[in-house]
Amino acid sequence: MVLSISLIVILAIIVISLLERLRFPGLIGLVFLGILLGPQGLDLIDATLLNVSGEIRLLALIVILLRAGLGLDRITLKKIGPVALRMSFLPGVFEGFSIMLFAHLLMGLDLVKSGMLGFIIAAVSPAVVVPEMLRLKENNIGKDREVPSTVLAAASVDDVVAITIFSVFLGIDRGQNVNIAAALAGVPLSILLGISIGSIVGFFFAWLFKRFHMRDTKKVLLILSSGFIFHQLEDYLPMASLLGVMAIGFMLRERLPVAADRLARKMERIWVLAEIFLFVLVGASVSIDAIGGSWRTGIIVIVIGLAFRSLGVALSTLRSQLNKRERLFCMVSYIPKATVQAAVGGIPLAMGVAYGDVILSVAVLSILITAPLGAIGIRIAGPRTLRKH
């Protein structure tokens, strides 16, 4: 496993350096490096590392969400609140149900299975979106109307809605007595519970760091470890744990603003390594063999879904303070898919759902198409549509 880790790090640094020199996002190269090194390619990644890839990807995601939380403050949240709230569910719902309809019409899936497919694909990727938004924030691009913060906050809730609705369709297909109204009503509760518990944890850390002196490195280790444990609580409590992780960072920013700056810089250094393993292992988890013969209609369905997602973003930002160029940027920022599709795309097939192979095929296609397209689009559109301050 040590040899695999060393190989990944060396090759990833070379790939990132080459792509950044060409002004392309490094994550694109990392995903395709993972495909090349993984079981579908040269099979050079140790099986032990692949077996724990889910936990490693989760840890990397927690790093970037903590960074995001440490970059938010109360004034910003008040400013972006209504738009971020609408963007957290409208675009995903538009995309999910449009894919449900067109997968039914074009691919011959029944409405329940096409609903599963729709809401697997409807989840935007925080792993792609959040670091790109943080990069814009650090360069003071879009600061006047807090556009990156709006996308950052909304994208984190978007996943909760998509995964919840996917779970409803999966339960219906498995013959479970699913109360759809209760499941959907539970979404706001899980969001509220996640934010509340995360804020309490953040408040506790702020109190602890004020009362007891310790090095910033130890503080970061404590926060990261707690964030990982916090996520595991989702197995026992109906809460949006990743949103709660962001709330930990937000509360630390509110209570200890000076220390939060130092902790954010530490997280940024950790992200250099975490980013490599997150995207390489996402690539390694992609099953190219699963694409099969459904790729043509799969691409059509994905494109239709993105069109309806963009319509959802347009409606979410209607009559807001954002101008046309900023609204266009929000549409581009909501394109990337990666982490949720890699993690959830294979569940229907593993559970014996009919056409599970087709669902996995389109989920894989959505990663290969939208992750590069969205990342490049954000890099190009950001400086051209948002003002720098």
Name the least confident of 43-47, 349-353, 360-364: 349-353
What are the pLDDT digits (tens) for 304-352? 999 999 999 999 998 888 889 999 999 999 999 887 787 788 788 778 8
Q: Tell me the C-alpha distance between 4 and 26, whole Å.
A: 20
What are the pLDDT digits (tens) for 196-226? 888 999 999 999 998 888 888 899 999 988 8
Domains in the chain, start-ordered, CATH in brackets? 25-385 (1.20.1530.20)
Q: Sign of dihedral through CA atoms 156, 162, 163, 164?
A: positive
Question: Percentage of the chain surpassing pLDDT 70?
Answer: 95
How high is the mean pLDDT of the chain?
85
Residues in the chain: 389
What pLDDT sits at residue 27?
80
What are the pLDDT digits (tens) for 105-141? 998 888 889 999 999 999 888 888 888 888 888 888 8
